Structure 1
């Protein structure tokens, strides 16, 4: 059976992607979706605008970044 894809992280499970900036640093995308839906919507808007990326770091964790100019 096919797994449902996240609108934000695609094929990577939302609990495996960690925010790497701001007041939510260290929280998973799934946690943000459950507790702060308005911020999750902001992240979706950043993705749609091309201002966002997910990278797998040396520690094997997927980290979500927003381009710095959009955080100021």
Structure 2
């Protein structure tokens, strides 16, 4: 029997509780916290990932940090 791992629409295979937002007014919150507490912002993160604007980087302290790059159109 294969094990099932849920894939996040924002973080992919990385658990949402392990990825910390590193920008804006929600800086320091995990993606999971935002999903529970601020669904509109979570929707924004999903849209940003679909557009290719989200980046997750592992910092020197081994934490995963989420960034959203803004591009002018």
**Higher helix content, 1 or 2:** 1
> Equivalent of 2:26, from 24, 27, 44?
24
Q: What value does the CA root-mean-square deviation take over the aligned residues?
A: 1.2
Aligned residue pairs: how many? 70
2:15 matched to which residue of 1?
A: 13
- TM-score, length-scaled by structure 1: 0.91
2:52 matched to which residue of 1?
A: 50
User: 1:62: how far off?
Assistant: 0.2
- TM-score, length-scaled by structure 2: 0.90
Give the greater-gyration-radius structure (CA). 2
C-alpha distance after superposition, 1:10-69 (max 9, x if no partner): 110000000000100000000000000000000111111111100001100000001144
5+ residue gaps in structure 2?
A: none
The 4+ residue runs of structure 1 with deviation greater than 4 A are none
